[in-house]
Structure 1
Amino acid sequence: MAEKYQKFRELTGEIFDLDAVVSVLGWDQQTYMPPGGAQVRAMHIATVSRLWHEKLTGDEYSAALEAAREETADLDPDSDEVRVVRYMQREVDKWIKVPSEWVNEFKRVTTLAHQAWEEARAQDDFAHFQPLLEEIVKLRRQYVEYFAPYDHPYDPLLNYFEPGMKTSEVKSVFDELRPRQVELVQEITERGLPVDDAVLHQDFEESKQWDFGVEVIKALGYDFERGRQDKAAHPFTTSFGIGDVRITTRFDPKYLGTALFGTIHEGGHAMYGQGMSPSLDRTNLIDGASYGIHESQSRMMENLVGRSRPFWIAFYPRLQEYFPSQLGELDLETFYRAINKVKPSLIRVEADEATYNLHIMLRFEIEIALAENKISVADLPEVWNSKMQEYLGLTPPNDAKGVLQDVHWSSGYIGYFATYSLGNLMASQFWAKMEEDIPDLTNQIERAQFAEMLSWLRENIHQHGAKFEPMELLQRVTGNTLSVEPYLRYLRAKYEDIYKLA
């Protein structure tokens, strides 16, 4: 490896290490840290984040980056060297606009806000969370101004999670999706053969839910030698490097779906993280191409695999062994229909595939209103409830099941939610291509054989990390740009079958 590039990679590795330390501290905070540790943990994370920012935007790194760019100028544009340099140049260009003091304060406030959110949700007390959320929104509005001029004040927030994507593009996608998803839900409601999901709402022992979930994600390809699973208030995945990608889940002893699909979802994220090329380790390219690409991998596992009939042909007998009194007499088809019941719901993470994007759209609209300064944090519970009524015909009975249900805003993740819907679209596009390349895919899934599927994902998506921007990766893999059509075709075919609409 060339000398100047080697020096650049050493410094890049040190920057990654600082970021990974923040991730370890954040993982501990959400899993094992005692409540009394929040104040000092906020300082830990703020200090290390500030050091990360200073190193990333400092003169030494800028000089090393420039030298590496010159040294790699004649290499293959798709080589790791060129792509790592290009990615880190984008990172420097972004973060050099943001003061270290902002990074320090943002990390301090969001660390405190996480605990406040947990407490507020548990107590159904939005006012407990409101002051810190107000600070977060204020900081995020400051962040937006560092990137002026912009087409829309939401653009810098969206780009934080989905590089290159514009607010207008997401609006256009949602304008295409909304009427057709609403139409499908109406058809199901008016003409569909009724589906009963009461079987999922029984007593399910937590330890057995845990064991079955672990069995499933191991079969799918999650490597417990390079990861672990713990409990958290809101499921998440975190990577400290290719050799250590951790997941969390949560349980509802009265509802099977929470842990089951949450675990599979996080397993999808984690298999992406474990599948990165070793040549990219100790660079932030192992964070993935974008949050939308990341969500394509998690939503693919959760829905296209985990809610499919072939998957349950393989795994339902095992689930019946875990819960014989609850499911032993229940046939596969009734169970399959139950886990795919379409019904407007209060909780996003428990929403069916036909209504899920509606949950995302209302959050997107609320975040845009925040970015445009059209609403205040104090307005959020009322705005949330009115949007829920508008989109899903439901009014949350309390804020815990309304505006407080998601962890994202406590982390400062304003701009994230749209990536779930983008992930849904890309998952269907990737899946259509994978079915072309693996004609026997359905039969393999019925036999719980996932090796070829995982190999395809590793070769086409996982290994590249962030070498390619999200839309470039999508084009390379599928030959197409972002489209709603494969997703809508998939949904319609699935639900016409389940609800006997055809």
Structure 2
Amino acid sequence: MDRHYQNLVQKLEEITHLNGVMSTLGWDQEVMMPAGASEARAKQIAALAGVIHERMTDPALGDCLNELKEKNFDHLNEVERCNIREALHSYELETKVPKRLVQELAELGSRGQGIWVIARQENKFSDFAPVLKRFLELKTEWAQRISPELKPYDANIDLFERGTTMDMITPIFECLKQELIPLIEAIQSQPLQPDTSFLQGRFALDKQEALARAISQDIGFNIAQGRIDVSVHPFCGGSHPTDVRITTRYKDSDFIESLYSVIHETGHALYEQGRPHELGDVPASESLTMGIHESQSLFWERMVAQSKPFCSHYFDTIRAAFPENLKSADVDSFYRAINTCKPDLIRVEADEVTYPLHVILRYEIEKGLFEGSMRVDDLPEIWNESMQKYLGIKPPSDTLGVLQDSHWSGGAFGYFPSYTLGAMYACQFYNTLLREQPDTKKNIASGNFAPIKVWLNEKIHRQGRLYTPQELVQRVTGEALNPDHFIGYLKTKYGEIYQLG
């Protein structure tokens, strides 16, 4: 093997290992770290971010890449070409950003998370606003440095969905609004709504935890190489495919939230555990975009776990965990209850019909902030007005409104569109699976999830970063991303549940 390529792999693996340490520090901060350690942790994270940045901008790495770039790639295989391509992209981005900016973003993200948690608890958006304003300044500077040819918000979107811009997203989201708002109104106007009374009451937390853990492992989560813990906001983290950590949050008044949160994060975890790490800790073995990642979590949460066959398989188990609460329910009523379409204040608790409107609201706010048509101080009012317009409800507090998500506390602008792109990918992948494995619904009903996991491993997880999202979707499904799959799925499913004409 070319010595320059060997040198490149050695440098890339060291960077990956350092990023793994950073991920573990981030997980610890949200799960186990004492509250009083926030200042020290912010400095630790800033220092480590500086070290990683130095490795990623090392002139020796640049020299190595330049040597490889000048060579003929024909003698390299697909994985080697991918590693060089991804390393070049990353190096060109990182060398355009000064260490000072990298460290300030990292430290503000660490401090911002703590400030957000307290502001959310105390319902004080004004305490979080300065963090948001500073992030907008820093992320605008960052965007102008790395991609001066792009609009600042497009550069931020590109970080999560490479090659995707506002010009591509906005028409799709406008189409979704035109289709979903009338659908939601039609559902809400139906006189007979599903009975959800048996989902209310008190549900023992230990029973919730045991149920969630069991189902997570049933569908394929390798607990020997993972963990399930509690955090303010559910997430999937960890440092390597052999160390994947998911979290949820429990409320004794709602077991559905924690259960489906764990299933959602398990979808992310299965992607991480399914990556081709035998290729080495290099870019070719990493996951693709956030949209593809989200497609995997939504695939399991919505296409599988909210389906009638899944409910049929697990209903007796769930009722055994909460016998008094569910004594009057049956499979059909349970299926309808967990698929109720009802506008909710909280994005992570929203149903699959209303969820895209939560994403669109956030996308439009981020777009407005970067374009200068919206002010940070006005966000609570803008948020509430949009919720009223799209979903017909108004948050009674900032805690249940503009402060509910953790993303802005880390400066993750441009992330939200990935959720709805992921929902579209998930639906298109699932329809392809049904064509290729006609017994899928029978397998789900019998609790045989292995064929689904193997299909996802082979088609998506083990492909790493060999292809762009567009190429991957084309390879897997035989067509480009087509939102008609998603819209058709929602109209068919909820038309049947609510008996729409």
Q: Could you say whether these structures have the same fold, taking a TM-score greater than 0.5 normalized by the shorter chain as the test?
A: yes
User: In structure 1, what is the Cα distance between the partners aligned to 2:63 and 2:191?
Assistant: 64
Within-5 A mapping of 1:225-304: 225-304=224-303
User: In structure 1, what is the Cα distance between the partners aligned to 2:224 and 2:373?
Assistant: 49
The range that moved more, 237-246 or 187-196, is 187-196
1:489 maps to 488
Tell me the SS of whatever aligns to 1:173.
helix
Check 1:345–1:365 CA distance in 2 against 1; reply closer, same or farther (3 A cut): same
User: In structure 2, what is the Cα distance between the partners aligned to 1:72 and 1:270?
Assistant: 37
Post-superposition offset of 1:145 = 1.5
User: Aligned AA for 1:119?
Assistant: I
User: In structure 1, what is the Cα distance between the partners aligned to 2:147 and 2:63?
Assistant: 26
Tell me the SS of whatever aligns to 1:353.
coil
1:60 maps to 60
User: In structure 1, what is the Cα distance between the partners aligned to 2:469 and 2:284?
Assistant: 12
2:47 maps to 47
Post-superposition offset of 1:67 = 3.4
Tell me the SS of whatever aligns to 1:245.
strand
Post-superposition offset of 1:5 = 1.7
User: Aligned AA for 2:331?
Assistant: L
Post-superposition offset of 1:25 = 0.6
- After superposition, the C-alpha distances for 1:362-418 in whole angstroms (9 at most, x for unaligned) are 000000011112222212111111111111111100000000110110011111000
Contact between 1:314 and 1:445, CA under 8 Å: does it hold in 2? yes
Tell me the SS of whatever aligns to 2:237.
strand
Contact between 2:4 and 2:64, CA under 8 Å: does it hold in 1? yes
Check 1:172–1:192 CA distance in 2 against 1; reply closer, same or farther (3 A cut): farther
Post-superposition offset of 1:93 = 1.8
User: In structure 1, what is the Cα distance between the partners aligned to 2:279 and 2:405?
Assistant: 32
Within-5 A mapping of 1:376-395: 376-395=375-394
1:398 maps to 397
User: In structure 1, what is the Cα distance between the partners aligned to 2:96 and 2:195?
Assistant: 54
Post-superposition offset of 1:116 = 0.8
Contact between 1:203 and 1:254, CA under 8 Å: does it hold in 2? yes
Contact between 1:309 and 1:336, CA under 8 Å: does it hold in 2? yes
User: In structure 2, what is the Cα distance between the partners aligned to 1:411 and 1:88?
Assistant: 24
Contact between 1:257 and 1:350, CA under 8 Å: does it hold in 2? no
Tell me the SS of whatever aligns to 2:186.
helix
Post-superposition offset of 1:71 = 5.8
Within-5 A mapping of 1:6-155: 6-69=6-69, 73-75=73-75, 79-155=78-154
User: Aligned AA for 2:346?
Assistant: I
Tell me the SS of whatever aligns to 2:247.
strand
Tell me the SS of whatever aligns to 1:169.
helix
Contact between 1:23 and 1:238, CA under 8 Å: does it hold in 2? yes
User: In structure 2, what is the Cα distance between the partners aligned to 1:22 and 1:403?
Assistant: 28
Post-superposition offset of 1:147 = 3.6
User: Aligned AA for 1:403?
Assistant: V
User: In structure 2, what is the Cα distance between the partners aligned to 1:104 and 1:228?
Assistant: 29
The range that moved more, 176-185 or 302-311, is 176-185
User: Aligned AA for 1:113?
Assistant: G
Contact between 1:231 and 1:249, CA under 8 Å: does it hold in 2? yes
- After superposition, the C-alpha distances for 1:410-452 in whole angstroms (9 at most, x for unaligned) are 0111110000000000001111111111110000000010111
Contact between 2:275 and 2:464, CA under 8 Å: does it hold in 1? yes
Post-superposition offset of 1:140 = 1.2
Post-superposition offset of 1:115 = 0.8
1:429 maps to 428
User: In structure 1, what is the Cα distance between the partners aligned to 2:323 and 2:213?
Assistant: 19
Check 1:287–1:113 CA distance in 2 against 1; reply closer, same or farther (3 A cut): farther
1:335 maps to 334
**Identity across the alignment (%):** 37
User: In structure 1, what is the Cα distance between the partners aligned to 2:48 and 2:181?
Assistant: 46
Q: CA RMSD in A?
A: 1.5
TM-score (norm 1): 0.97
Q: Where do 5+ consecutive residues of structure 1 fail to align? A: none
Post-superposition offset of 1:280 = 3.9
Tell me the SS of whatever aligns to 1:246.
strand
The range that moved more, 178-187 or 352-361, is 178-187
- After superposition, the C-alpha distances for 1:17-50 in whole angstroms (9 at most, x for unaligned) are 1111111110000000011111111111111111
Check 1:286–1:399 CA distance in 2 against 1; reply closer, same or farther (3 A cut): farther
The range that moved more, 56-65 or 440-449, is 56-65
1:308 maps to 307
Post-superposition offset of 1:305 = 0.8
1:207 maps to 206
User: In structure 1, what is the Cα distance between the partners aligned to 2:80 and 2:360?
Assistant: 38
Tell me the SS of whatever aligns to 2:221.
coil
1:346 maps to 345
User: In structure 1, what is the Cα distance between the partners aligned to 2:122 and 2:130?
Assistant: 16
Check 1:26–1:440 CA distance in 2 against 1; reply closer, same or farther (3 A cut): same
Contact between 1:192 and 1:500, CA under 8 Å: does it hold in 2? no
User: In structure 2, what is the Cα distance between the partners aligned to 1:347 and 1:322?
Assistant: 26
Contact between 1:276 and 1:462, CA under 8 Å: does it hold in 2? yes
Contact between 2:275 and 2:285, CA under 8 Å: does it hold in 1? yes
Contact between 1:247 and 1:266, CA under 8 Å: does it hold in 2? yes
